[in-house]
């Protein structure tokens, strides 16, 4: 059966919220609609723009790891590094989100949405793939819960990795998947 390849231009565009919710796929937030001005990044007058960018990432990607959110905003401003001052400036806009501490980092959630299990969101295309450490344990647990037969396999983390389309299972990814399996194991 021939596989239909997505339009590369369409893959990188943020769909409307209703389309995203309807297909259940993970998409990286499209921040191109904002006028990112690195010269104003630390100015008080630029706070609303930063706030709106944070909200756009949270809306599109939550639960999202805090450092990933900061990277997205830094990259939108043309910066390859996300230093302490940048992270501190972005953190000023995280008061209205919920947070969970996980083995791979702190995850940010829309206010009132933290749950022990949320639907896993497969990537909308190659440009939207996430590393295992970037996926909240609540999403990974959802895949385990939906596929409990994997617990009977010789290598459950490897089976789980294949279910979420991980091509190479590193030691850190294996540990993260084992964590999701243990959290779900009856």
Nearest residue to 29 via CA among 51, 12, 41, 50: 12
> How much is the pTM?
0.84
Query: What confidence score (pLDDT) does residue 7 get?
Result: 32
Query: What confidence score (pLDDT) does residue 39 get?
Result: 97
Chain centroid to CA 145: how far? 20
Helices within 62-184 (DSSP H only): 66-76, 84-91, 137-146, 156-163, 171-184
Q: How many helices (H) and strands (E) does the chain have?
A: 8, 3
Mark 56-83 as b/e (b = at least 16 C-beta within 10 Å): bbbebbbbbbbebbbbbbbebbeeeebe
Query: What confidence score (pLDDT) does residue 65 get?
Result: 98
Contact criterion met (CB below 8 Å) for 27 and 124: yes
Give me the residues of the chain with pLDDT under 70, please: 1-22, 186
Query: What confidence score (pLDDT) does residue 74 get?
Result: 97
């940048």: which residue's tokens?
A: 86
Query: What confidence score (pLDDT) does residue 49 get?
Result: 97
């Amino acid at each position: 059966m021939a596989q239909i390849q997505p339009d590369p231009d369409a893959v990188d565009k943020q769909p409307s919220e209703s389309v995203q919710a309807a297909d259940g796929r993970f998409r990286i937030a499209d921040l191109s609609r904002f006028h990112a001005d690195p010269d104003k990044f630390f100015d008080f007058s630029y706070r609303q723009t930063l706030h709106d960018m944070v909200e756009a990432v949270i809306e599109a990607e939550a639960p999202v790891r805090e450092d990933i959110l900061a990277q997205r905003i830094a990259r939108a401003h043309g910066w390859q590094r996300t230093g302490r001052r940048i992270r501190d400036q972005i953190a000023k806009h995280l008061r209205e989100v919920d947070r969970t501490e996980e083995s791979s980092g702190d995850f940010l959630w829309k206010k009132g949405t933290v749950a022990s299990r949320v639907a896993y969101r497969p990537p909308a295309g190659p440009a939207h793939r996430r590393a295992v450490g970037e996926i909240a344990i609540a999403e990974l647990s959802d895949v385990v819960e939906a596929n409990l037969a994997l617990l009977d396999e010789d290598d459950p983390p490897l089976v789980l990795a294949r279910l979420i389309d991980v091509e190479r299972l590193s030691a850190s990814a294996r540990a993260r998947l084992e964590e999701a399996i243990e959290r779900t194991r009856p």
